Structure 1
Amino acid sequence: MKKTILGLVTLALVAFTSCKDDATKKINEANITAAAERDANASKLPVLTFNETEHDFGDITKGVPVETEFIYKNTGNAPLVITDIKSSCGCTVPQDWSREPLAPGKTGKFTVEYNASGPNKITKTITVSANTEKGSEVVKIIANVIEPSIQ
């Protein structure tokens, strides 16, 4: 028991005597300035805003491709970079988007082609990956696919 108490007292003395230096003297003012600037710039993010987030084709004929265009705008404070656009299935093909940075206030666009292979009402999602706060945005296409009429 005496050895345990003696060991704890020795450990406490070492711990308290090793903290002589004032930690505030070790702060580098240049690091504080750089961190403040970094934090201020972190709040400057692009914001991806669409003219419409859902496009309804209405009635379309099975096997006849249809196409729409989604227009977007960078309403944020930093350049917007779209890294990828993917659809929920192979029958929906997003294309023609710019991979170049889009300045704040500027607009861009991409097209989505859909080729229905079966009848019924459909909803397909298109995920736009970008350097926004959320990292991705989703737009949708909707259609009512009907069989071609036989004449």
Structure 2
Amino acid sequence: MKTRLIYALLVLFGFFATVSCDKKGENNTATTNHNEATAEDLSASDLINNPNTANPEVVTTGPAPVMSFEKYEHDFGDIKPGDVVKHTFNFKNTGEAPLIIESATASCGCTVPSYPKEPIAPGQSGKIDVQFDSKGKTGQQNKQISIRSNTQPNITELTIKTNILQ
């Protein structure tokens, strides 16, 4: 009796799995055909020129912002455990369009960047303030700050370093 019940359940499970797979296959085929038709209808002039693309082959046209830093790395040297240190990275928009910073994030919660929220006009300067809290850390520390903006490429990396004495 148990064997028949198990067999019946397996047959039902196999049936439902087969039906589900067939429907997924039909939907995928329909989607693929739709996408192929859409791609054929597009010409090269229809492509969007997005300066924030990850594709290095895309060539941007028109004015663009350029975020130029005085330096991309800062070494605090030796500090004591528990010290909180700060550094300001100065930059200038050397491009021809307003620079907009979307975000600034650090590789660790012990590092907190702050950045201007308003657009930086061409020729104008700005600053990224970075605070590092050494509490609970020892030895060599390297932290990265990633700045996402409307530049090409759209991610700029800054680095802070320090040695926390024991």
TM-score normalised to the size of structure 1?
A: 0.68
Offset of 1:137 from its aligned partner?
A: 0.2
User: What pairs up with 1:24-63 in 2 under 5 angstroms?
Assistant: 42-63=61-82
State how far apart, in whole Å, the 2-side matches of 1:47 and 1:126 are: 18
In the alignment, which residue of structure 2 is the partner of 1:126? Answer: 145
Computed over aligned residues only, the root mean square deviation of the Cα atoms, in angstroms, reads 1.7
Are 1:104 and 2:119 counterparts? no
What secondary structure sits across from 2:71 in the alignment? coil
Letter aligned with residue 130 of structure 2: V
Offset of 1:110 from its aligned partner?
A: 1.9
Offset of 1:43 from its aligned partner?
A: 3.1
What is the aligned residue count? Answer: 108
In structure 1, stretches of 5+ residues that fail to align are 1-31, 33-40
Are 1:83 and 2:124 counterparts? no
Find the partner of 2:93 among 71, 74, 92. 74
Higher Rg of the two aligned structures: 1
State how far apart, in whole Å, the 1-side matches of 2:145 and 2:63 are: 26
User: What pairs up with 1:3-18 in 2 under 5 angstroms?
Assistant: none
Q: Could you give the per-residue CA deviations for residues 82-108 of structure 1, whole angstroms, max 9, x where no partner exists?
A: 01000000000002x211111111000
State how far apart, in whole Å, the 1-side matches of 2:160 and 2:62 are: 32
TM-score normalised to the size of structure 2?
A: 0.62
Letter aligned with residue 111 of structure 1: D
User: Displaced runs of 4+ in structure 1, greater than 6 A?
Assistant: none
In the alignment, which residue of structure 2 is the partner of 1:6? Answer: none
Are 1:140 and 2:159 counterparts? yes
State how far apart, in whole Å, the 1-side matches of 2:151 and 2:106 are: 19
